[in-house]
Amino acid sequence: MIVERSGSVQITTSVMGRNDRFAALNRECIRAAGIFALNLISSPGAGKTTLLEAMARRYGGRMAVIEGDVRTRRDAERVEKAGSRAFQIETGGACHLDAEMVGKAMETLDLPGSGVRLLVIENVGNLICPSGYDLGEDMKVGILSIPEGDDKVLKYPSLFSRISVLLISKTDLFPHLDFDVKRAVMECRSLNPDVRVFTVSAKTGDGMEGFFGFIDEAAESASTRRGSMP
Domain ranges, ordered by start, for the chain: 14-222
Q: Is the whole-model pTM more than 0.75?
A: yes
**Per-residue pLDDT at 145:** 98
**Per-residue pLDDT at 84:** 98
**Per-residue pLDDT at 226:** 63
| Residue 55 contacts residue 64 (beta carbons within 8 Å) | no
Residue-by-residue pLDDT tens, the chain, 230 positions: 444 455 555 554 576 899 999 999 999 999 999 999 999 999 999 999 999 999 999 999 999 999 999 999 999 999 999 999 999 999 999 999 999 999 999 999 999 889 999 999 999 999 999 999 999 999 999 999 999 999 999 999 999 999 999 999 999 999 999 999 999 999 999 999 999 999 999 999 999 999 999 999 988 887 776 654 34
CATH topology of domain 14-222: Rossmann fold (3.40.50)
**Per-residue pLDDT at 14:** 74
**In angstroms, how far is CA 85 from the centroid of its own chain?**
16
Among residues 143, 138, 146, the alpha carbon closest in space to that of 37 is found at: 138
Question: At 169, is the secondary structure helix, strand, or coil?
Answer: strand
CA 85 to CA 62: how far, in whole Å? 9
Q: What is the DSSP pairing of strand 8-11 with strand 36-41? A: unpaired
Q: What is the largest CA-CA distance in the chain?
A: 60
**Per-residue pLDDT at 224:** 74
Tell me whether residue 136 is exposed, middle or buried, using C-beta atoms within 10 angstroms of its C-beta: 0 to 12, 13 to 18, 19 or more: buried
